[in-house]
Amino acid sequence: MAAWGLWAGLLVLLASLSLVDGSVFLSNQRLKGRFQRDRRNIRPNIILILTDDQDIELGSMQAMNKTRRIMEQGGTHFSNAFVTTPMCCPSRSSMLTGKYVHNHNTYTNNENCSSPSWQAQHEPRTFAVYLNNTGYRTGFFGKYLNEYNGTYIPPGWKEWVGLVKNSRFYNYTLCRNGIREKHGFQYPKDYLTDLITNNSINYFRTSKKLYPHRPVMMVLSHAAPHGPEDSAPQYSEAFPNASQHITPSYNYAPNPDKHWIMRYTGPMKPIHMEFTNMLQRKRLQTLLSVDDSVEKVYNMLVETGELENTYVIYTADHGYHIGQFGLVKGKSMPYEFDIRVPFYIRGPNVEGAAINPHIVLNIDLAPTILDIAGLDIPPDMDGKSVLKLLDTERPVNRLQFNKKGKVWRDSFLVERGKLLHKRPDGKEVTQEENFLPKYQRVKDLCQRAEYQTPCEQLGQKWQCVEDQTGKLRLHKCKGMASLSVARKPGLASMKAQLYGQSSDGCDCDVPDLRMSPFKKKKLLSKKKFKASKNYPRNRSSRSVSVELNGEVFTVDLEDGYQPITPRNLSRRHSFGEEGEDGLEGQEDDDFSGMGGTSSPSTNNDLLVPSSIKVTHRCSILANDTVKCDVGLYKSLQAWKDHKLHIDHEIETLQTKIKNLREVRGHLKRARPEECDCNRFRKVVQEKDKKQWLLKEQKRRKKLRKLLKRLRNNDTCSMPGLTCFTHDNQHWQTAPFWTMGPFCACTSANNNTYWCLRTINETHNFLFCEFATGFLEYFDINTDPYQLLNAVNTLDRHVLNQLHIQLMELRGCKGHRQCNPRTRNLEIGDKEGGSFDEYRQYHRRKWPKMKKPTSKSLGQIWEGWEG
């Protein structure tokens, strides 16, 4: 019985223990769920403070003592912070999406900026949308995008106070939660910096009062120090002797070794230099209100007890230049003063009074904010979270070996400009150098690989050669390779298909002749006219000209056409009354190369000469080489005499061209009204309506600008450049400008470039490829202000490798491809992108400087397409 009692007691004890375990398990499950909910509720607040056009290279942060005390001493300063596109709307779009410009397609402040395409494809994928969907109280206050029109509330924002259009301090319009709100010129009621500060603080306090367990994410997007640089009245007398903008590159001009804008603009005038001093002073004054704003936000966090649970980020959309390289003011250049920005962060577990040298970019903002909120970062974002760089070193177990170091990018892409338009043959239409001397344009063109190969490639039209004097020349390819380019039928053939008889009062008729292989050729056309004593200068390998009823047409040679006999077909140079038999015996001595290329042959054969005699002593052979008499190569005096003769001929032809242009201008002004063939015009519009509409829009836009300048009596304009005027009425707040009006042209809309910026333990450089084919390279270690373009000091293989790296970045997508590094510390990573694979098998050969030489750069790299 005792044994049975013992077993019964054991059973009771086991049953009780099982109940206790079950209750503990259920309790653990309830605690775990509560713990998870608490973790979700205590997610940190996020406040992003953004300024507009604030530099760090020109000393703007020196004026913001409160911000530096709060952000520098209380947080981490990233000393190598950059933007990937130094323009407002593209950079802000990158901040919102975490993507490079080539992935969100907002290339300029006008093109696709807040467009329907942006609103449909990229705006629904900003960091605000992700945070709003996970319980954050989101709010935006201030400038959004340059072309935002205030007709809608972007997705993801619970509180929306967005500035309509571009930056202003007074007399602006806000979209407050869908309702347009106009403001006037009263301080402090309408001063935008103070309004942003007060509205954001009120929203934070209200959110914490109504929803104490929900985190807040706010963006304070200030207009300062962007123009019109209106400061608060109490700061209008600050910084009377501001001179931080006078750096070694200040008014460093001219710059013949840089791209075309730098070569075109010269040193500033005294009035421009006075303006830069005043501009720097007013910009710093506007930043004092931002400095007050940062302090107010900080005090609000202290009062609400949220300081220790809030991340505060301070940065700008891009830098700025004031007088650098003679550019009076502006941005959009790939140099340090435009791409470097201030970047500070403070918050939980962020080390105070620290300086972090890693590269951080504007595309890192969105991934960082998502990482702070505890969300997964979408793989299509090109940036990376910087929280990884803020982790303090934790104590490591003494048995832990092979601890991986932090892997971070050492290079990034700087891109700016529009997409290059495609031609019908699929090639990109490159931008042209504007208004440079001819020799300089030729020198730049000769840097392109397409002009450096012999005239043997199919479709090649031009070849760059160096003459005996050392000058670079562009020669037209005359071989059969140039005939392979497909040609579209001209307007004359289209007319021939549409009109067979004339209409009343309108002669749209064309001769009863098969015109499909013809292209109507305008006499003295701007692009195809070649200066000569006799008009029809044509080297007869690409087309043959005929004159029909007073009009000149060009017959395209068929593909694969082979020359039959080397003879001159020009009637004007048929040498008197001799026939074809006489020509065959005199082709080498009497062919001038200056006549037309049509001949009344009885069998209608189109013949191409094997050589063209340009002068009485030099000819161009069929293999595209120049051959002169032996005496020119042996006698220096004969060489000088012949060169003098050629120079004289060129001067004579240039004078004649000038006279002909004057006559052409007169004829354009005195052009009679021509017949309006509606049917023909309608067919042209239907065939390429899109292209016609684009041209018409550009024409009307230019006309509106011209009429506006004429109405305002504005003479401040220069073709190809963006100009601005300034007078005594421009600034409406003190300090005022009193030195009268002036004009300055310092930038251009067609300045497209792609740059590779690299910073690591051994190298610090900037390498740029411009759409014009021009190259720039600066070693920042030895030339921190980018005064001298050192591209001529690089070896060929180094240029090739830099180009390969740049082309990979230009096409990268996602953070795995868009964040290259010097060495691969994660070899074998299956998810590695193209950069990981590339550097696993190809060690990066860093640029090695060599002594500059007086020789030109020569051929750049094989197969390069810029």
The pLDDT of residue 642 is 87
Cα separation, 484 vs 261, whole angstroms:
36
Q: How far is CA 321 from the centre of its chain?
A: 17
Q: Count Cα atoms within 13 angstroms, Cβ side, for 347.
A: 22
Tell me which of 491 and 390 has the higher pLDDT.
390
Instruction: For 132-152, write each residue's pLDDT tens digit.
Output: 999 999 999 999 999 999 999
Is 745 designated active site?
A: no
* DSSP structure string for 29-83: HHHHHHHHHHHHHTPPEEEEEEESS--STTSGGGG-HHHIIIIITTSEEEEEEE-
Give the residue among 110, 113, 78 at the shortest CA–CA distance from 96. 113
- Is residue 174 pLDDT above 90, yes or no? yes
Tell me which of 599 and 12 has the higher pLDDT.
12
User: Residue 588's pLDDT band (boundaries 50, 70, 90)?
Assistant: very low
Contact 294, 222 (CB under 8 A): no
Contact 52, 89 (CB under 8 A): no
The one-letter amino acid at 1: M
For the record, the structure tokens of 378 come out as 């979408």
Q: How far is CA 334 from the centre of its chain?
A: 9
What region does 720 belong to: left with phi over 0, alpha with psi -120 to 50, or beta? Answer: left
φ, ψ of residue 410 in degrees (nearest 5) = -125, 0
Relative to beta strand 411-416, strand 753-759 is antiparallel
The one-letter amino acid at 350: V
Cα separation, 576 vs 807, whole angstroms:
59
The pLDDT of residue 538 is 42
The pLDDT of residue 145 is 96
The one-letter amino acid at 153: I
The pLDDT of residue 110 is 84
Please provide the size of the chain in residues.
866
Instruction: For 342-400, write each residue's pLDDT tens digit.
Output: 999 999 999 999 999 999 999 999 999 999 999 999 999 999 999 999 875 444 443 44
- Is residue 841 pLDDT above 80, yes or no? no
* 158-191 as b/e: b if 16+ CB within 10 A: bbbbbbbbbbbbbebebbeeeeeeebeeeeeebb
Contact 197, 293 (CB under 8 A): yes
Instruction: For 313-328, write each residue's pLDDT tens digit.
Output: 999 999 999 999 999 9
Cα separation, 344 vs 354, whole angstroms:
10
Task: Please state the rounded mean pLDDT for residues 704-722.
Answer: 75
User: Residue 835's pLDDT band (boundaries 50, 70, 90)?
Assistant: very low
Task: Please state the rounded mean pLDDT for residues 593-600.
Answer: 39
- The pTM of the full predicted model, rounded to 2 decimals, is 0.65
- Is residue 548 pLDDT above 80, yes or no? no
Instruction: For 728-744, write each residue's pLDDT tens digit.
Output: 998 999 999 999 999 98
Residue 666: in which H helix or E strand, if any?
Answer: helix 636-669
Burial of 686 (0-12, 13-18, 19+ CB in 10 A): exposed
- Cα-based distances in Å from 26 to 12, 29, 36, 39, 801: 21, 5, 15, 20, 62
Instruction: For 181-234, write each residue's pLDDT tens digit.
Output: 999 999 999 999 999 999 999 999 999 999 999 999 999 999 999 999 999 999
Whole-number average pLDDT of the chain? 77
Contact 518, 494 (CB under 8 A): no
User: Residue 615's pLDDT band (boundaries 50, 70, 90)?
Assistant: confident
Cα separation, 473 vs 463, whole angstroms:
8
The pLDDT of residue 454 is 73
* DSSP structure string for 194-229: HHHHHHHHHHHHHHHHH-TTS-EEEEEE--TTSTT-
Relative to beta strand 354-361, strand 137-143 is unpaired
Task: Please state the rounded mean pLDDT for residues 77-100.
Answer: 97
Q: Match 């703007």 to its residue by tokens.
A: 60
The pLDDT of residue 684 is 58
Sheet holding 543-548, edge to edge: 518-520, 551-556, 543-548
Cα separation, 434 vs 789, whole angstroms:
20
User: Residue 80's pLDDT band (boundaries 50, 70, 90)?
Assistant: very high
Task: Please state the rounded mean pLDDT for residues 648-663.
Answer: 88
The pLDDT of residue 525 is 43
Contact 811, 803 (CB under 8 A): no
- Cα-based distances in Å from 503 to 247, 474, 675, 684: 70, 47, 10, 19
Cα separation, 224 vs 50, whole angstroms:
9
Question: Which one of 88, 89, 464, 755 is the catalytic residue?
Answer: 88
